[in-house]
Amino acid sequence: MIVIIDYGMGNLKSVFNAFKQVSPEADIKVTSNPADIKKAHHVVFPGQGAMPDCIRELDERNLRSSVLDAAKTKPFLGICIGLQMLFDKSEEGNVDGLGLLSGTIKRFNNENTADESGHKLKIPHMGWNEVSQTNNHPLWQNISNNDRFYFVHSYYLDSKDKNIVSAETSYAQKFCCAIAKENIFAVQFHPEKSSTAGLQLIKNFVQWSV
């Protein structure tokens, strides 16, 4: 069973439809039931909106311990804020994350967001951008290096632990857009909105065993 965690803040319909497209025979469930999360073979942790709201909604549904347990024991995919929430702290609302991994979520600096030609870049970072793979993780199988994925975000991960970085993207600066550690894989972009490459990543996750 593949469980997509529903804490009221994720792009749940698009994520569900993408998983169903690549794995139509799988038992895929969108749920906020801790018992379902515990029984799942694979767990997906999506997120949209502001970090303080996501943390609040997660705790109001008493799902923090279920997320932490799943992230320690099962193939686990974090998407967008589902990546950001795994870390220590976010500058968005100056809120603590789940603290599962070490790092801070920082806001892009409006004063320094220009491309190589000096053109001002907009915040949020929105649209398609190249993803440069930094390791040979199973979730990159059959995805070309520097393939393009879809982003919507104003905050990015800053972590001193470079061993967890699985891909980077440039938007005025180079930043980590995918992390991997043991059974956890998490991405800042939206694979469910990223056409062929995104669906391949989701397919790779469904087939991933740890």
Q: Render each residue's pLDDT in the chain as its tens digit; 210 residues.
A: 999 999 998 789 999 999 999 999 999 999 999 999 999 999 999 988 999 999 999 999 999 999 999 999 999 999 999 999 999 999 999 999 999 999 999 999 866 666 666 677 888 999 999 999 999 999 999 999 999 999 999 999 999 999 999 999 999 889 999 999 999 999 999 999 999 999 999 999 999 998
CB 4 within 8 Å of CB 44: yes
Amino acid making up residue 9: M
CA dist 175 to 64, 115, 125, 171, 187, Å? 27, 14, 12, 8, 12
Give the 3-state secondary structure of residue 113: coil
At which residue do the structure tokens 């990159």 appear?
Answer: 140
pTM, 2 dp:
0.95
Is 176 one of the annotated active-site residues of the chain? no
| Rounded distance between C-alpha atoms, residue 102 and residue 141, angstroms | 27
The pLDDT of residue 120 is 76
For 101: left if phi > 0, alpha if psi spans -120 to 50, otherwise beta; the answer is beta
CB 197 within 8 A of CB 18: no
- How many Cβ atoms are within 10 Å of 34's Cβ, its own excluded? 17
The active-site residue, picked from 54, 57, 176, 192, is: 192
Q: Is 35 helix (H, G, I), strand (E, B) or coil?
A: helix
190 in catalytic set: yes
Which of 42, 54, 57, 80 is labelled catalytic?
Answer: 80
Distance in angstroms (rounded) separating the CA atoms of residues 97 and 89: 5
Predicted pLDDT of residue 64 = 97
How high is the pLDDT of residue 151?
A: 97
Q: Is 192 a catalytic residue?
A: yes
